[in-house]
Amino acid sequence: MIQPHGGTDLKPLFVADAAEQRALADAATRLPSLTVSSAAAANAVMLGAGYFSPLPGFMNKADALSVAREMRTAQGLFWPVPCLNLTGESVGSAQRIALRDPNVEGGPVLAVQDVQTVEVLSDQELALLAEQVFGTLDSKHPGVATFMSLGRHVVSGPIRVLNYSYFAREFPDTFRTAPQIRQAIAEAGWNRVVAFQTRNPMHRAHEELCKMAQEAVNADGVLIHMLLGKLKAGDIPADVRDAAIRKMVELYFPRNTVMVTGYGFDMLYAGPREAVLHAIFRQNAGCTHLIVGRDHAGVGSYYGPFDAQSIFDARVPKDALRIQIFRADNTAFSRKLGRVVMMRDAPDHTPEDFVQLSGTKVRELLAAGHPLPPEFARPEVANILMEYYQREESGK
């Protein structure tokens, strides 16, 4: 199986031994505590679940600035997005702190952190981090808005994770750690695995894209890996996406060719930088290929349609990652051919030969109770989405 990023062994930071976990949880009750941001909580979950391997914990200022500028830590590890515990409050002189979960009622302890440094970002440093990661300082960008609101104190140091926040409880059939996915891939006997990242329901174009990619790279199976964390307003909740994707896989994919899983992270909307981070997640989960399509991890018009592909040529050294990228073009239903195609593979088509709907138009149709064109969405998937949108409309 493909090696994890940065070494031969995966390094999840979750405390798996039950006795050790009880002892650490008991010790945490006597430690100074910090209720972290949702972003930092998501970072802790990803560290615990092995997706951020081989990071030992939260970065210090020097590492964060180096990653922002060079996509490498100060020690030289290739990494595209700083992994930070940013807070608006100081932790004083505490050498060890309990990190409390902002997303679970009562704020239970999520992890214990050994504090190596507490540093303060200047205005210039905060702006540099945001601009390098997101490519903009526009406060209307949801990722920028979130990042700039987190605070200036950088609390660095290794962590040990006690639980996976709300993800394992609310999505028991879907949330999986990187070691769990690696084990499932091994048990399935798969050697080549293509991963599909999604924060949205999957329509016909997404379905066919997975099948095209699997055939193109001769993969044994497809990992559909959905983000389960916080999204921007207007995005479809994870439970609805989960139901729609599972229905599509059940009815329209060959048996035993797809794993439907999810991971506990908040969406950054960082476009190209986040696409590279997504590649690391999937390499750590054991995948050999990642589909990177149009406007991968983007939002609005902040990024070019294929910037998330070109960054792998322009900024990712050839020896930095083992996972390979499957570069997808726009996909749409061809009226001429009667099937979904990549538009680059149909040079004889005119725009009128394709069935394409904007996300806004899709939402309008569903909210009004109108069926989506069968060329765009499987009817069973459309019904799940329509029920959700109609519930939303009736609740307004």
Distance CA 16, CA 14 (A): 6
Residues paired with residue 348 on neighbouring β-strands, in sequence order = none
Is 284 a known active-site residue?
no
Distance CA 388, CA 118 (A): 44
The residue ranges of DSSP E strands in the chain, in sequence order, are: 33-35, 57-58, 86-87, 96-100, 109-114, 117-120, 153-161, 193-198, 221-227, 258-263, 289-292, 324-327, 331-334, 339-342, 354-355
160, 176, 182, 199: the active-site residue = 199
The answer to whether 109 touches 162, Cβ cutoff 8 Å, is yes
Of 1, 51, 310, nearest to 197 by C-alpha is: 51
The answer to whether 326 touches 290, Cβ cutoff 8 Å, is yes
Distance CA 280, CA 273 (A): 11
The angle, 0 to 180 degrees and rounded to 10, between the axes of the packed helices 379-394 and 238-252 is 160
User: Hey, what are 133's tokens?
Assistant: 């990661």
Using DSSP, state whether 78 is helix, strand or coil. Answer: strand
User: Hey, what are 388's tokens?
Assistant: 């959700």
Q: Any idea what DSSP says for residue 128?
A: H
Distance CA 299, CA 267 (A): 11
Angle at 56 between CA 156 and CA 163, to 5 degrees: 95
96, 152, 191, 200: the active-site residue = 200
Query: Which residue in the block uniquely carries the two structure tokens 């497809």?
Result: 222
Q: Any idea what DSSP says for residue 4?
A: P
Sign of CA dihedral 175, 180, 182, 183: negative
Is 72 a known active-site residue?
no
Q: How many angstroms separate the Cα of 252 from the Cα of each of 246, 258, 356? A: 10, 11, 21
Of 135, 113, 224, nearest to 176 by C-alpha is: 224
Distance CA 353, CA 340 (A): 11
For the annotated catalytic residues, the residue numbers are 199-200
